[in-house]
Chain A
Amino acid sequence: MSHATTIDPTEIEKFQAMAADWWDPNGKFKPLHMLNPCRLDYINSQIAAEFERDLTMQRPFEGLRILDIGCGGGLLSEPMARLGADVVGADAAERNIPVAQVHAEDQGLTIDYRHTTAEDLAAAGETFDVVMNMEVVEHVADPLSFLTACHELLKPGGLMTCSTINRNPKSFAMAIVGAEVIMRWLPKGTHDWSKFITPDELFDLLRRAGLDPVDRTGFVFNPLSWNWSLSDRDLSVNYVITSLRR
């Protein structure tokens, strides 16, 4: 690959240690690890339906170019690469890039990780069949201009999954009081509740960005089974919307 590792070998051990942090299911990214199978099931089924792929086949996403915005340690990029997709992982935080790169190489995966933003990728004329835009929109300064860039990144017929957190008293209790203050799953201040977006607001933003929302689904945490599951009714806290570029 043209992006051949540019990591200083003396730094590899440090990045490996950071990657181990990212990928420790009981470590500081525990909530993401817990949610990951559930959101992968959702993303995979949406891609399979739109691009007519059979998920029981080996490497079903062969031939698809997928962008992971806010890739972090590569929790979504790696599965997509394993499923055969050509993956670009983008993160605005420079420190995440070598960490994700080292881990992917360790796993025998080829992923094009870049320190860049959606806006810069769009300006460079990059296009994708799928954009995974998961748990990002609540952190950006201007959601509409961000989603407009995402629209430009999609090929015609392309698909974007966009997940975020609803804004209501329950989401405040769960995402901020529960996850940050009580469980300490996330560092305090990870989320700013006023930046949370309701499903109706996100629908509206996506439409204004030129996209066509086609599905909305909730990610629901069940404290009894200590597990996440998908719900087509309960969008009260975490939810995802799939939209298409027509």
Chain B
Amino acid sequence: MTVAAAAAMDNGPPPPIFRGMSFDDDILIAGGGLNGTSMALALASAGFRTTLVDPKPPKVRKAKDFDGRGYALSISSMRVLKTLGVWDALTDVQSILHITVTDGRAGEGPSPLMLAFDHGEIEEGPMGYMVEDRHLRPALMQAVNDANITQIDDHVAGFAPDTSGVAITLGSGQTRRARLLIGCDGRDSAIGRDSGIKRQGWGYDQTALVCAVAHEKPHGETAHQFFMPPGPLAILPLTGNRASIVWTETTARAAEIQRMNDADYLDILRPRFGGFLGRIDLAGDRFTYPLRLSIADHFVAPRVALVGDAAHVVHPIAGQGLNAGLKDVAALGEVLTDAHRRGEDMAAPDVLARYERWRRFDTATLAFATDTFNKLFSNDNPLLRTARDIGLGLTNALPGVRRRLIREAAGLTGDLPRLAQGKHL
């Protein structure tokens, strides 16, 4: 209603709320990363009018140069991506058939006690899959381009929830009205902050060094995790004789190592890596990620939901960050779809509360477990070391305990959303 039209009416100013106003979108997603694109695909598959807002143009987001980053995806994550039509477009997926977990000290090699997990112990196939960032990102972008999803190269500058929806202002000044705003905007989520959601978190004074190596001998489709005093080292198999390395040091030491040239860098890595894969060389860029754990006090606010790192940042010790994000995507997609099909206002507070109940407990448990694990293992106290060696040995000797750990890591425990069971929304 224009001002003139309002003034022309006898009954004074227009009503204060958006009565019966139309919507540009059912759902607007802020953030076009891995979680944001997956969320958009899930919602579009259920028939929601979805808009994806990200400041980086798609071309930048789908850069294909190998940068050495990879994701260890659980079976449940694979199913989500498969159901969303992304998985089959991925090239160069490396199955993980075996996982070994070893307690080691640099230069000493692994301790004799270790945990070995094998895909024969679960029925669902491999333990997990390694997917490279340079393949996953373009596959998600392609699927978004193919689906009925509006994409805007911009950022969310502000938003105002009301009783039936949320008015969103973009950086350009354009405003859009949606029923729900989903923040997939990462660990420093502006959507979460501007919703007044506080976060609990702590740093570790640890930094992960990430790189890819080419190695001489085949990896045998085995992922290795060594627990060393400065922090864990993971060797994750990529296709060919290549592996993605995630390796943790104290933040000061990591900065020092990152500044070295490639030859010196490899000299530091080699003794930690051991000789079992033969000669190693760098096969891509080197990255560092400061480790930080945080969890949002709430995953939802009026007309707002947070997904992925915006809701929780977990220690990357078990590669659970993206897996947890895809579980959020699957759970939120299911809650919204079911509410909509039931005829409910799909973004009403009690509907959003169902998503929070479903995911926040799981995530808090995961954050606590990985934190405890990290504290227990990133320590050279001889007593702790003996205790955890005995623990690993015992766990290995008890098939029931081991099987439960495997299923947990594969994402096959808990109340699985439909997408994570390989079913459509």
Contacts and interface: CB of A to CB of B under 8 A. Distances in A.
Interface of A: 9, 12-13, 16, 20, 23, 25, 33, 36-37, 40-41, 44, 55-56, 58, 78-83, 105-108
Which 3 pairs across A and B sit closest by C-beta, in order of nearness? A79-B343, A25-B350, A83-B343
Contacts of B47: 58
Contacts of B151: none
Given A40-B343, A83-B343, 9 more contacts: A9-B11, A36-B344, A37-B342, A41-B342, A78-B345, A79-B342, A79-B344, A106-B163, A108-B23
A28 B128 CA distance: 48
A106 B343 contact: no
Interface stretch (B13-21, B364-372, B375-383): B13-21
Contacts of B341: 44, 55-56
Nearest to B18: A106
B22 A108 contact: yes
Count chain A CB atoms within 10 A of each CB in B163, B339, B342, B349 and give the residue with the most: B342
Contacts of A36: 344
A108 B164 contact: yes
B71 to A, nearest CB: 31
A78 B21 contact: no
Which of B12, B163, B348 is the most central at the interface, judged by chain A CB atoms within 10 Å of its CB? B163
29 contacts: A9-B11, A9-B12, A13-B16, A16-B17, A20-B163, A23-B348, A25-B349, A25-B350, A25-B353, A33-B350, A37-B339, A37-B344, A40-B344, A58-B47, A78-B343, A78-B345, A79-B343, A81-B343, A82-B340, A82-B345, A105-B19, A106-B20, A106-B163, A106-B164, A107-B164, A107-B345, A108-B20, A108-B21, A108-B23
Nearest to B11: A9
A33 B350 CA distance: 8
Interface in B1-37: 11-12, 15-23
Contact of A82 (B15, B343, B353): B343
Contacts of B163: 20, 106
Contacts of A23: 348
A151 B343 CA distance: 26
Nearest to B20: A108
A102 to B, nearest CB: 8
Interface in B23-57: 23, 47
A55 B371 CA distance: 43
Contacts of B12: 9
A80 B343 contact: yes
Contacts of B350: 25, 33
A40 B19 CA distance: 25
Nearest to B162: A106
Contacts of B344: 36-37, 40, 79, 82
A106 B19 contact: yes
B302 to A, nearest CB: 12
Interface string B320-352: 000000000000000000011111110011100
Contacts of A20: 163
Contacts of B345: 78, 82, 107
Contacts of A107: 20, 164, 345
A161 to B, nearest CB: 14
B342 A12 contact: no
B357 to A, nearest CB: 9
Contacts of A83: 343
Contacts of B339: 37
Nearest to A55: B341
A41 B348 CA distance: 17
Q: Which of B22, B341, B349 has the most A CB atoms < 10 Å from its CB?
A: B341
Contacts of A81: 343
B342 A44 contact: yes
A118 B231 CA distance: 72
A111 B176 CA distance: 26
Contacts of A58: 47
A191 to B, nearest CB: 24
A55 B337 CA distance: 11
